[in-house]
Every structure is written in C-alpha cells, then in structure tokens.
Structure 1
Amino acid sequence: MLPQEARDGVGQEAFVPPAYAPAPLDLPHELAASGWPDGVLPLIGNDGMDTVIGPLCELFCQAYPGLSFTLSLRGSATAMPALVAGASWFAPMSRDPWTEDTQAYRRARGHDPWALRLGYTGHGPRTSARTPPAMYVHASNPLAGATLAQLARVFTRGAAGGELSTWGQLGLEGAWRARRIHVYGMRDTKYARGLRHRHFAGLPYAARYEALPSREDVIRAVAQDPYGIGAVGWVQAASISDQVRVLALAGEPGRPFETPDLATIASGGYPLKAWVSLFLDLAPGQAVPALLREFGRLALSREGQRIIAARTHEDEGYVPLCERDWRAQLRRLG
C-alpha cells in the first residue's frame, strides 16, 4: 500500500499488488546465459533512479544469494549506449529514449529496445519539484484544453485537417478569436524531436514554431505573450514565472482533459506522462530470460511498488502503476 503521504491527493485507495515469491531458478545456468557467469550484474542508466534500483537490487540479492550488482547510474543519456554495447544487464530510465538514441539502437541491433514499465515519472505542478512534460499557456488564456490531434495541427505542418493558426480555431471567442497562436518550444533535438515523433506522427515543426535554447526560455516567452503556447519537458515553471499555467490535454477527441496532477498520474491518465522503465535488449518475439523476468516480477510486486511509492513526494516524484497498467506489464513479462 502507498504511504499516507503518497495517497494524499490520489482520491482513491491505491491498488496493492501481490507480494513477491521468488521462482526456483538454475542460477549458474541463467547467469551463464546472461553473459555474466560470475554473478556480478552491471547496471548503467538514470541517476535519479538510484533510490529505486538500489533497494530493488538488495531485495533481489536476498531472494537469490550469490548475485551482486555494480551500479553506474550517471544519467539516462548513458543507458542506451550501454545496452547497445552489452555493458548493462538492463537499462533503467525515467523517460523514454530520445529519438536519436532509438535510431542508433535500431541501427546497431535491428530492432527497438524492449521496455518494462514500473511506474510513472513525476506529477505536478509542484512548487518544489519539476512538472512532467506539458503544454503551457499564459495565465490569462481561457482555453479549457486541447487534444493531441489539435496540438499536432498547431505545432507541425502536414497534419490531417490542415494547420490551426488562430485561437478561434481552438474554440476561443471574443477578442481571442482572430488572434494568431504564437508557438514556442525547444530546438528540434532530444525532447522536442521526441515529442513530435511520439505524439505528432513525426511531422516537421511548422514555420511559425519558434525554437528557443532552453526550457526556461520557453516558459519566459509564454509568460510575456498572452497568445503564446509552449511545449517543454520537465521544468519547475513556478520558479520562473507565475504568469503561465499547464494546459489540460486529451489523448483523443471526446476524452476528458487532464493535467499531470497526482490523482491523474496515479490513475494512469495524462497523455504526455513519462514512465519509470527498465529497457532490455530483446529481439521481437524473444521471451524475457528467466532471471530478468524475476527481477521484473520483483519490481512489479508489492515490495517493488512500495519502493516506487516511497519516492512519490521526493524530487523525481515517482508514482506506482495503476492496476490496469500493472496487469498489462505483468502480461508482457510472460
């Protein structure tokens, strides 16, 4: 069960997975198959996940004596190169790989990395921590929300239905109706490129898209422009300006608009949510090796999800999986 402070704001009793029960394994055989027959398993990846991966490794070593881990958690940028090089048993990340990393991995391996989702990364807005990826508008903007399909037509060119260039096309009336939408974002690398590939069908950004050097610059631009909209990843917007707000989003037309508040994230909602993940080097159709499957089962167990829940109100803001997503990930393990 989530600690009380992690349940505050969720609005419903949290799903509690079953406790972990280790499966019997032929450990020498599994270690030989893994490529690390000495039982020392290296892990390279996100630095913010040390408070999750470290405790999970300790529990796993208790379940399977004779194992040990070497952790080199220096940042998500190290995860995919290490997985490609065969230098990491799996790659822990608190976001999905950038498009550039996925493309490099695909060139090297001929397929995409395989992801097991353990939880969600971040919730907000919070005054003391970064908000997950979001769209920001000026505080005075009355727009209730937008769908991802609408945003694709605002931010990119070539989307079905044509470009949306005025606030009236998004439903605003009065003085807002004829005003042009001023579009801000990051340079077309890393987060900005990942956003359009993941959510905007890989379409190129529109000519009116103004690429700025930093997340802070995007927030400042929207704060100074009532007719602006900005797309950024993790940022502590409240520390930059109180003249912006997070725009509620819907993944599909007809769905309710959502922000990344704790209750929404804990229920598996919000179309731009990020994931706490373990990335594996598995070819399509390849079964998860038994030892890796057991680590995944531990991470999805009651004990593993409690470790994630204990970080909900820390800087990274990790949130355990809702029951629907938990069952989907357990099925993926096989």
Structure 2
Amino acid sequence: MKPCLHLAAGLLALGLSLDAAAASGGVPADDPALAFVAALPAYVPEARVDGTIRVWGHGSFKRDFMGHLVHAWIDAFRAHQPGVRFDYRMYGTASAVGAVYSGAGDIAILGEEISPAAARAFLRAKGYAHTDIPIATGSVDVNFYDYAHMVFVHESNPIDAMSMAQLDAVFGAEHRRSPRNLRTWGELGLDGAWAAKRIQPYAWKTDVDFALFFRERILGDSHRWNPDTQEFVHATRADGSQYDHGQRILDALAADPHGIAISNVRYARPGVKMLRLSREDGGTAHAPTPAALIAQDYPLVRIIPAIVDRAPGEPLAAPVREFLRFVLSREGQSMLIAHSGYLPLSRDVIEVQKARLR
C-alpha cells in the first residue's frame, strides 16, 4: 500500500528529478505520490526577501524526525533566496506552538494536527486564532509520520464499509453525527446470528494523541466514548521489547468475532480485516490507499500543518510567506517524498493554501 518512498529518496539523492526517476523505470510511473507531485508548479519567487526565519517543531534531541527534510528545504530555498537565514529548533511539537505565540519562533512545523489545548493557549495569548497551513499528508503506515487511522473487524464479520456517522454511533456515547448510539451488529444492518451480538470496541487509550484525533474527527469532539471500549497502551514483553498498543488492539480483535477496532495496517495480522470508510451515509467508501489519502477522500487521513502567527487583516512576514510557498511547490513536495515518510498534498489543496498566504 505504501509508495516507493525509499526508491525516490535514493534517486533524488543522486540528483535525479522525480520525472526523470519515473522515466528511467526506477520508480513506477503510476506511483500516486509521484503523479501528484509532477502536477505541481515549480517555485517562482514573488519577491526577493531577506531576514531570519525561526523554525520550531516535530523532533527531539535524540531523534530529529524532520531534520533531513527541513534541512533539505532550507538548502534548496536559500538557492532561490540567499538573503534568508534560518534558526533551527525542531525539538518537539509540544513546545513549537508556544514558541510562535510567545514570539520566539516564526513557524511551527508540527508532527500532527494542532491539539485543542495548544489552539486554546494560542488564542488566550494572542486574542485571535492561530493560522495553520497544511504542508503534508500523513503516511499510510510509516511510524512517526502520522499514519492514517483505520478501522478493523474480525475476518468473519460480513460488514465491509462504514460511514463517519456510524463510527461515531459505535465508538461514542453522544451520537453527535447520528440519531442514536449503535450497540449491536443488527443495528448496523447485519442479520441472522449477528443481529443480537453486542459490538465490542477496541481502541487506543482515550486520552493519548491518537485518540484525540479520532475524537475530534469522528466523535465531534465529544469526550464521552462508548463505555464498553477497551483501551490499550504500549506494554513491555518479557524479553524487554515493546508491545505496541496498535498491535495489542488487533491481537485482541483477532480473538473476538464481535469486535471492532481502531488501529493501522502496519499491525495487520490474520484474523482481522480492514474496512473502507465514507464521509456520509451512503457515500462512496474508500480504502486508505496513498491516492485516497493525498486526495483527502479517506475520512481518517492525517494532515500535517505549519502554524504561524498572522493577526487578522495583516500579511505574513515576506520571508515566511516565501518559504511556505516553496514548501508547497513541486520542489518542496518532491523533497517531502525523498526525505520523510509523509505523502504530498494534492494540487487542489495546495492552490487553496497558496491563496491563503497572499
């Protein structure tokens, strides 16, 4: 399911363009990531700018998750804009938004969507909301690169697709998207022996970041989960290795024919199957393929933002605007593929964001 990111990275490191790489046969010409990037316009500066851009965001002193990517962006951008300098502080999503609203940073490149707490803190500090500019699509299944949430059932379950409203009615308790809660498989349309069987949900611990995203996207930001939900955290095996929460969830599901689970395909195993998801009841249901994520057709796609401080009615600082325009260009999104596990944005999304930068 994953695009050939490592092949693309190797070819780009040798100086080959994505177009040339595809033409040479090194990367499949129909690779969704390459196809989306090839349609993007190249970066053309709107103005020559100078100054210092202070960049904060996703990473740590031990694991600089975004380092190769952001440094590649910086080096390539400075070839166009040699008067711009950078102060690099990519040592944690948690500190990044605070750096922007306190005036210590200009751009916060997050490793996930901004948390409700960080958004509230920004609003309290500045008196107006933050501005978020999407710069990447989360991965299908790459750890540390915001992989998509996926919904699984037991392999014996005949259901193959669900809507966002149905997920809310199953995993939530306030049914904000649906007229009522759904607690049996019969209420989801299954008949025969399935009809009276109670649905058993499995999920991440409901106060961790993974669950916060699901809560906002599916439960309408309700804090009230289905009380039957079994929550999982990372555990340690007898040999000292980590037993990841996503794996624990699907292992539990594989033993429960009446279960339903939130996890990711990286943990898929015999005994479970993944569902296609639709935004609306009766709408087209999509599997979490790279193309469906890039096009944002799949409802549980993750979108990576850059957070900036933009007062109402005021323009962005010119160096910040030009750097974000570069990140959203063909070159910037090509480097995204080469130096990270993220997927690019679609051209339609990028055009909307470029308009917001003006």
Local SS of the residue matching 1:318: coil
**Paired residue for 1:304, among 319, 332, 340?**
332
Question: Distance in 1 between the 2:28 and 2:318 partners?
Answer: 32
Local SS of the residue matching 2:300: coil
Alignment pair present for 1:154 and 2:182: no
Displacement, 1:284? 4.0
Alignment pair present for 1:46 and 2:74: no
Residue 111 (structure 1) aligns with:
128
Alignment pair present for 1:261 and 2:289: yes
**Paired residue for 1:93, among 90, 99, 110?**
110
Structure 1 stretch displaced more, 200-209 or 12-21: 12-21
The answer as to whether partners of 1:146 and 1:250 remain within 8 angstroms in 2 is yes
Question: Distance in 2 between the 1:147 and 1:285 partners?
Answer: 38
Local SS of the residue matching 2:343: strand
Question: Distance in 1 between the 2:28 and 2:345 partners?
Answer: 13
Residue 311 (structure 2) aligns with:
283
Question: Distance in 2 between the 1:11 and 1:77 partners?
Answer: 29
Displacement, 1:309? 2.8
Structure 1 stretch displaced more, 95-104 or 146-155: 95-104
Residue 250 (structure 1) aligns with:
278
Question: Distance in 1 between the 2:182 and 2:71 partners?
Answer: 47
**Paired residue for 2:351, among 314, 321, 327?**
327
Residue 200 (structure 1) aligns with:
219
Q: Classify 1:304/1:26 alpha carbon distance in 2 versus 1 (closer, same or farther; 3 Å).
A: closer
Q: Classify 1:131/1:305 alpha carbon distance in 2 versus 1 (closer, same or farther; 3 Å).
A: closer
Local SS of the residue matching 1:226: coil
CA offsets 1:58-87 (integer angstroms, 9 cap, x no match): 122222223222323233233223223322
Residue 202 (structure 2) aligns with:
184
Question: Distance in 1 between the 2:200 and 2:217 partners?
Answer: 22
The answer as to whether partners of 2:162 and 2:277 remain within 8 angstroms in 1 is yes
1:319 partner letter: L
CA offsets 1:147-203 (integer angstroms, 9 cap, x no match): 111111111122241100111222222322221110122223222133212332122
> In percent, how many aligned pairs have the same letter?
29
1:132 partner letter: A
Residue 36 (structure 1) aligns with:
none
2:301 partner letter: K
Residue 183 (structure 2) aligns with:
165
Residue 20 (structure 1) aligns with:
43
Local SS of the residue matching 2:292: helix
Q: Classify 1:286/1:140 alpha carbon distance in 2 versus 1 (closer, same or farther; 3 Å).
A: farther
Local SS of the residue matching 2:66: helix
**Paired residue for 1:133, among 143, 149, 152?**
149
Question: Distance in 2 between the 1:185 and 1:110 partners?
Answer: 36
The answer as to whether partners of 2:33 and 2:290 remain within 8 angstroms in 1 is no
The answer as to whether partners of 1:130 and 1:236 remain within 8 angstroms in 2 is no
Displacement, 1:26? 5.5
Local SS of the residue matching 1:255: coil
What's the Cα RMSD here? Answer: 2.7
Residue 34 (structure 1) aligns with:
none
The answer as to whether partners of 1:43 and 1:69 remain within 8 angstroms in 2 is yes
Figure out how many residues of one structure are paired with residues of the other and give that number. Answer: 314
Unaligned runs of 5+ residues in structure 2 are: 1-17, 60-64, 235-244
Question: Distance in 2 between the 1:255 and 1:326 partners?
Answer: 25
- TM-score scaled by length of structure 1: 0.84
The answer as to whether partners of 1:186 and 1:211 remain within 8 angstroms in 2 is yes
